[in-house]
């Protein structure tokens, strides 16, 4: 009996499906008409959409090259109590460079750099406000109408730059690793102006390079500064001691007793100690310079944007087909739910 009921239910479902198929076939011209209408709308949308330009820059970061003779020299230096910065910082690993390129600090510093767009040199952020017609929307607001980023930074400047940063990372900037094996990073930016797009990605990678190198070499730079200051200090003391020694020696030319030459002997010993200290510090100073050079990462740009940039405008045919498909799908849904509603009312 249960098997019989299942057969009846399956039969009812198949009949219902055939009924809906017949109903939709009767409406096929309306569905096709809707699809064609949406297809035309999609083409017009693609035609009147503003052309955007995509600037792409690919680069790879080469970090510290450790080991070898440099590691051996660093070990020798550590025996004398000097840390020449053998370890490398993990603050800027390959993976989080992607996020650092999108950070507010890096992007805002980039926007405050000068580039030439349409024959006029100005701050990137000023060009951005003009190209995206942001300043036109300020005309009715007296508080921000006269805001210029050439002036001293205020609350309004911070608020505006924060909104621009958010718009850039959400809608215009793409940062991605092409493959895990190669570690090549692609930096892309979309803009209504090809000169702005090119200038922005080049300025952004430059700003990122400065921050990256500064942080990666911070320890080695601190060590180098300390050793340089110490070398200058010891050298100054050594010069003073040598002058005092020469003056005392001139005074003691006719003195025969050793007690009379005590000051001369003391200065001689001090000169020998300072001289040994200075030679050791200079040796470690040179080693520290080599370490700093070794720890300075290199950002190699593989491909950079070249004008004129490729247009990123939507394909008219593709846009029309997608919108047309959407129109057909919506009309199908409309007729299916309309029949479901009518059938429900008929059975009630």
pLDDT one-digit tens code per residue, 245-274: 888 888 777 665 666 678 888 888 988 999
> pLDDT band at residue 72, thresholds of 50, 70 and 90?
very low
Helix axes 194-216, 124-131, angle to 10 degrees: 150
Provide DSSP, 305-330.
--SSPPB-PPPHHHHHHHHHHHHHHH
Provide DSSP, 211-264.
HHHHHHTHHHHHHHHHHHHHHHHHHHHHHHHHHHHHHHHHHGGG--STGGGHHH
Phi/psi of residue 53, nearest 5 degrees: -115, 140
What pLDDT sits at residue 168?
A: 92
Q: In this prediction, what percent of the chain has a pLDDT beyond 70?
A: 77
Beta strands in the chain (DSSP E): 53-62, 114-117, 120-123, 173-177, 185-191, 298-303
Distances from the Cα of 187 to the Cα of 97, 139, 274, angstroms: 11, 34, 54
Per-residue pLDDT at 157 exceeds 60:
yes
Sign of the CA dihedral running 100, 103, 107, 110: negative
Give Cα 17 distance to the centre of its chain.
55
Structure tokens at 287: 């080693």
Residues 301, 58 contacting (CB under 8 angstroms): yes
Residues 193, 99 contacting (CB under 8 angstroms): no
The per-residue b/e assignment along 180-206, b for 16 or more CB within 10 angstroms, e otherwise, is eeeebbebbbebebbbbbbbbbbbbbe
What pLDDT sits at residue 256?
A: 58
User: For residues 59 and 336, what is the distance between their CA atoms, to the nearest angstrom?
Assistant: 53
Sign of the CA dihedral running 183, 189, 194, 199: negative
What pLDDT, in 10s, does the model give residues 209-221?
A: 888 888 778 888 8
Q: How large is the average pLDDT for residues 156-165?
A: 88
Distances from the Cα of 321 to the Cα of 38, 40, 331, 337, angstroms: 9, 9, 15, 24
What pLDDT sits at residue 247?
A: 85
Per-residue pLDDT at 85 exceeds 60:
no
Decide: pTM greater than 0.85.
no
Phi/psi of residue 93, nearest 5 degrees: -75, 165
Q: How large is the average pLDDT for residues 145-171?
A: 85
Which of 327, 315, 331 is CA-nearest to residue 43? 315
More confident residue, 294 or 243: 243
What pLDDT sits at residue 13?
A: 73
Top mean-pLDDT range of 157-171, 260-274, 323-337: 157-171
Distances from the Cα of 238 to the Cα of 216, 230, 249, 261, angstroms: 35, 12, 16, 20
When the pLDDT of each residue in the chain is averaged and rounded to a whole number, the result is: 78
What pLDDT sits at residue 73?
A: 46
What pLDDT sits at residue 144?
A: 64
What pLDDT sits at residue 88?
A: 44
What pLDDT sits at residue 348?
A: 59
Residues 6+ apart with CB under 8 A from 16: none
> pLDDT band at residue 71, thresholds of 50, 70 and 90?
very low
> pLDDT band at residue 53, thresholds of 50, 70 and 90?
confident
What pLDDT sits at residue 41?
A: 77
The per-residue b/e assignment along 158-176, b for 16 or more CB within 10 angstroms, e otherwise, is eebbeebbeebbeebbebe
Top mean-pLDDT range of 39-43, 48-52, 103-107: 103-107
What pLDDT sits at residue 204?
A: 92
Residues 102, 169 contacting (CB under 8 angstroms): yes
Residues 195, 130 contacting (CB under 8 angstroms): no
Q: In this prediction, what percent of the chain has a pLDDT beyond 90?
A: 14
């Amino acid at each position: 009996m249960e098997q019989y009921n299942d057969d009846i239910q399956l039969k009812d479902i198949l009949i219902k499906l055939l009924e809906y198929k017949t109903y939709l076939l009767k409406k096929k011209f309306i569905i096709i008409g809707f699809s064609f209408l949406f297809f035309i709308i999609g083409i017009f949308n693609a035609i009147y959409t503003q052309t955007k330009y995509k600037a792409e820059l690919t680069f790879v970061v080469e970090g510290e090259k450790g080991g070898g003779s440099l590691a051996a020299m660093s070990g020798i230096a550590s025996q004398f109590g000097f840390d020449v910065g053998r370890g490398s910082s993990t603050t800027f690993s390959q993976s989080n460079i992607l996020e650092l390129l999108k950070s507010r600090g890096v992007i805002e510093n980039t926007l405050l750099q000068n580039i030439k767009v349409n024959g006029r040199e100005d701050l990137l952020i000023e060009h951005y406000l003009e190209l995206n017609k942001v300043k036109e929307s300020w005309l009715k607001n007296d508080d921000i109408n006269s805001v210029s980023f050439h002036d001293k930074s205020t609350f309004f400047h911070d608020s505006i730059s924060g909104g621009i940063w958010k718009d850039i990372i959400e809608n215009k900037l793409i940062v991605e690793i092409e493959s895990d094996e190669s570690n090549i990073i692609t930096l892309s930016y979309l803009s209504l102006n090809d000169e702005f797009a090119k200038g922005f990605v080049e300025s952004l990678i430059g700003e990122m390079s400065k921050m990256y190198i500064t942080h990666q070499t911070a320890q080695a730079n601190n060590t180098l500064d300390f050793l340089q200051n110490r070398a200058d200090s010891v050298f100054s003391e050594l010069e003073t001691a040598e002058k005092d020694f020469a003056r005392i020696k001139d005074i003691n030319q006719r003195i025969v007793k050793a007690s009379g030459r005590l000051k001369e002997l003391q200065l001689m010993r001090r000169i020998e100690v300072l001289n040994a200290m200075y030679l050791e510090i200079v040796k470690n100073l040179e080693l520290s310079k080599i370490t700093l050079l070794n720890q300075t990462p290199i950002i190699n740009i593989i491909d950079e944007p070249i004008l004129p940039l490729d247009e990123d405008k939507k394909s008219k045919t593709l846009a029309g087909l997608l919108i047309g498909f959407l129109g057909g799908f919506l009309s199908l849904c409309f007729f299916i739910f309309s029949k479901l509603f009518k059938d429900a009312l008929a059975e009630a």
